[in-house]
Copies of this chain bind each other. A is one copy, B any other.
Amino acid sequence: MTNSDESCAAPGEAPLAGLRVVEVSSFVAAPLGGLTLAHLGAEVIRVDPVGGGPDYTRWPVTASGASLYWTGLNKNKRSVTVDLRSAEGQQAVRDLVVSSGPDGGILLTNASYPWLDYDLLRQHRADVIALRITGTHDGGTAVDYTVNAGIGFPLTTGPENLAGPVNHVLPAWDVACGLYAATGILAAERHRRRTGQGRSITMALSDVALAVTGHLGFLSEPEVTGHFRPRIGNHLYGSLARDFRTASGDSILIVILTSRHFADLGRVTGLAETFSEVERAVGGDFSTDAGRYAHREVIAALLAPWFAAHGTAEAEKALAQSSVLWQRYRTFAEVAADPATAANPLMHRIDQPGVGLVTVPGMPLAQPGLPPVTPAPSLGEDTRDLLREINVSRSEQCAPREDS
């Protein structure tokens, strides 16, 4: 299929200029997918029921009740609200999906409305692309936290002596799902451009977890070796890495992935000779990841007093003069208040309606031509313009060309 916009495309444009995606969404995954496309220059139209979806007031919120979660995930989008229970509202959403030119006809959703089904959309636009996020592949319900409970991480995270699970705070599966969705839409759009064919894509949140967990070897390990990763606190499986507490009471993470890292760690802590003697004493091999991992407790026990005897600034200064991978643990509040955060070219200062001035991130894929970062729309702010546009386009479709 040829693209009528092709001749208008300018080299300095945003990478996804011209692309239009209708997002019927809520919570994290689908909105993050749409946000990712929007930050690369696509026009993304979020559709909500009148009054907002179930995520419209989700925490964190401001004192006046504006959701920092909703505004954060819907920057750079347009907003349409319609009565999703009415036949007219449903028709308007379908029209919005199918009527937007050769670079449109793309739906991203985590809703399961029968009236938004691919086969129905396809009757109105043969080359439509519809990506639907579901809970499980066989129609079950699931959210990030239940998926995480079911896949294995909570029983492997946290202190070794803990009996129960440790939930994650980052909804990592929603995040991965949203980014898979952005990839899936662009892959389908490439295919459509080359073949003229649209497609229906479904993605289960639980399949995202199963795929990533599998790719990383967490499932093949018990299957193939009969072993599985024990709960090892803050150690890194197969390497030497752990947190240490300084004399100032901070925690610093140390990650050793190479012999050079380890040699440098020995040098800056003055423990090089001790490491060698202990290596001989325990019959270990501290020159390999596996050898350092096997003796992680004894190495950590040698290191802990060094950190306990040094203030954070002193420890950081020593580590900075080495190849060792390290980082002081910080709180969200510290990150937000760090002048380096605001100074990062990723971050933008915007005036978010309902929130006020706030520092927000844009697109980590740094490149020329990215669009400016703009606030999330007010709910329904673009309803009139976009529905009028559809009606115009519909009346144009209805008016026989030969009459004009």
Q: Is the CB of A222 within 8 A of B358?
A: no
Chain A 1-44 interface 0/1 with B at a Cβ cutoff of 8 Å (1 = within): 00101100111010111110000000010001001100010000
Q: Are A40 and B187 in contact (CB under 8 A)?
A: yes
- Let me know if A208 is at the binding interface, CB within 8 A: yes
Q: Contact check, A151 vs B330: say whether CB atoms are below 8 A apart.
A: yes
- Of the listed stretches A93-101, A278-286, A297-305, A337-345, chain B binds A337-345
CA of A344 to CA of B241, assembled, Å: 35
Q: Chain A contact residues (Cβ within 8 angstroms of B): what range?
A: 35 or more
A215 contacts B by Cβ under 8 Å? yes
- Does residue A383 face the partner (Cβ distance < 8 Å to B)? no
The answer, among B154, B156, B157, B211, for a CB contact under 8 Å with A364, is B211
Which B residues are CB-close (under 8 A) to A152?
330-332, 334-335
Q: Is the CB of B59 within 8 A of A146?
A: no
CB-defined contacts of A63 to chain B, threshold 8 Å: 225
Asked whether A143 is an interface residue with its Cβ less than 8 Å from the other chain, the reply is yes
Contact B332 A229 (CB under 8 A): yes
Contact status A183-B326, CB under 8 Å: no
Pick the contact of A15: B18, B190, B203, B257 (CB < 8 A): B190
Nearest opposing residue in chain B for A179, CB measure = B179
Residue pair A237, B154 in contact (C-beta under 8 Å):
no
Q: Which of A77-85, A164-172, A262-270 has 4 or more CB atoms under 8 Å from chain B? A: A164-172
The one of B10, B179, B217 in contact with A195, judged by C-beta atoms closer than 8 angstroms, is B10
CB-based contact A166/B234 at 8 Å: yes
Contact in complex: B364, A204 (CB < 8 Å): yes
Report the Cα distance A241→B162, complex, angstroms.
20
Residues on the B chain within 8 Å of A184, using CB: 40, 365, 367
A139 at the interface (CB under 8 A from B): no
Residues of B contacting A219 in the complex (Cβ-Cβ under 8 angstroms): 332, 335-336, 341, 359
Q: Known interface pairs A73-B216, A167-B234, A216-B72. Does A155 touch B330 (Cβ–Cβ under 8 Å)?
A: yes
A153-B175 contact given A191-B15, A344-B210, CB 8 Å threshold: no
User: Closest approach, in angstroms, between the C-beta of A259 and any C-beta of chain B?
Assistant: 11
23 residue pairs A–B, Cβ–Cβ below 8 Å: A13-B191, A16-B187, A19-B190, A40-B184, A58-B289, A62-B225, A75-B215, A137-B346, A141-B323, A143-B255, A145-B241, A145-B253, A149-B251, A165-B251, A166-B234, A169-B229, A172-B172, A175-B212, A179-B182, A183-B183, A207-B366, A211-B361, A219-B336
